[in-house]
Amino acid sequence: MTSSARAMQPSPAATRRALEEAVAVAEEMDRRRRRNQLAVYLPYPKQRAFHELGRTHRERLLMAANQVGKTHCGAAEVAMHLTGRYPDWWRGRRWERPTRWWAGSNTTENTRDTVQRKLVGDPKQMEEWGTGLVPGDALVDWSRRTHGAANSLDSIVVRHASGGKSTLGFKSYDQGREKWQGETLDGVWCDEEPPEDIYSEGKTRTNVEAGLVMVTFTPLLGMSQVVKSFLDENAATLAEIQRLAA
């Protein structure tokens, strides 16, 4: 190799710096992606239908098998309503102002490990908070539970696109009906099938604002009253359609 050719080769130090810069860029891109999961959410047809029904129905149930995206679907919609960040494909209900929500599951531990994890990030790693479906740059504040399961949050504050701040409180059915009373809310999300009294209280919280009640679960309790209420309503709707078509 001639001296001129050798001069064109980058030095080991320059090569090392270039590699370090490339790694840093890749890590930053991954960090931004992980802290904006909502931007890449794309529902499959049944999830999209569930979202779109929110425009005309206050109460919705997404009932399906385990591990098919029910919780992810519910968390994505709640994150949209909290942030006001609706994608171009969105055809469901929307708010142009900050909203107030409650979300929960059957136990404090399950609320933490499903609802909180999906919305905020890994409960056990505070540095991961902001990697859930609520974008990291929108997660303004949070408060921890003072009792119950470790690493459980009581509520979060979320920056809305309008400039205001939305709030979400984490609940669990084992707290009892009384803990589901008192607030005026825009929406309630129950992940896992709620007892009838909890469902009724959650719905009551949304009456003033004509808000939303969403339920996502795998039916494990048989023909419970909550399941029956949705099935009866669907049957009545189908009967009315058939009557009008006759």
Report pLDDT digits (tens) over 152-163: 999 999 999 999
Strand order across the beta sheet in which 59-63 lies: 59-63, 212-217, 187-191, 100-105, 165-172, 153-159, 139-144
Percent of the chain with pLDDT over 90: 68
Note the pLDDT tens digit of each residue in 8-49: 677 777 766 666 665 554 444 555 556 799 999 999 999 999
What six digits make up the tokens of 72? 């992810």
Residues 90-103, mean pLDDT to the nearest whole number: 98
Note the pLDDT tens digit of each residue in 179-226: 999 899 999 999 999 999 999 999 999 999 999 999 998 876 666 778
Long-range contacts of 179-186 (CB under 8 A, 24+ apart): 180/102, 180/205, 181/205, 183/100, 183/102, 184/100, 184/208, 184/209, 185/100, 185/101, 185/102, 185/209, 185/211, 186/81, 186/95, 186/99, 186/100, 186/101, 186/211, 186/212
Asked if the structure places residue 127 within a domain, the reply is: yes
Question: How many structural domains comprise the chain?
Answer: 1
Structural domain boundaries enclosing 182: 59-245
Asked if the structure places residue 146 within a domain, the reply is: yes
| DSSP-assigned letter for residue 93 | -
Asked if the structure places residue 233 within a domain, the reply is: yes
Residue 101: what pLDDT?
98
Asked if the structure places residue 24 within a domain, the reply is: no
Residue 2: what pLDDT?
56
Three-state DSSP class for residue 85: coil
Asked if the structure places residue 181 within a domain, the reply is: yes
Residue 78 belongs to a domain with what CATH number?
3.40.50.300
192 annotated active-site: yes
Instruction: Find residue 104's DSSP bridge partners.
Output: 171, 190
Residue 239: what pLDDT?
47
Query: Side chain identity at 110, as an amino acid letter?
Result: N
Residue 227 Rama label (left phi>0; alpha psi -120 to 50; beta): alpha
Q: What are phi and psi of 30, to 5 degrees?
A: -65, -40
- In angstroms and rounded to an integer, the radius of gyration of the C-alpha atoms of the chain is 23
**Selected catalytic residue, list 77, 192, 193, 201:** 192
> Which residue has 């994150």 as its token pair?
79
pTM over 0.75: yes
**Alpha-carbon gap, residue 89 to 195, rounded angstroms:** 34
Largest CA distance in the chain: 92
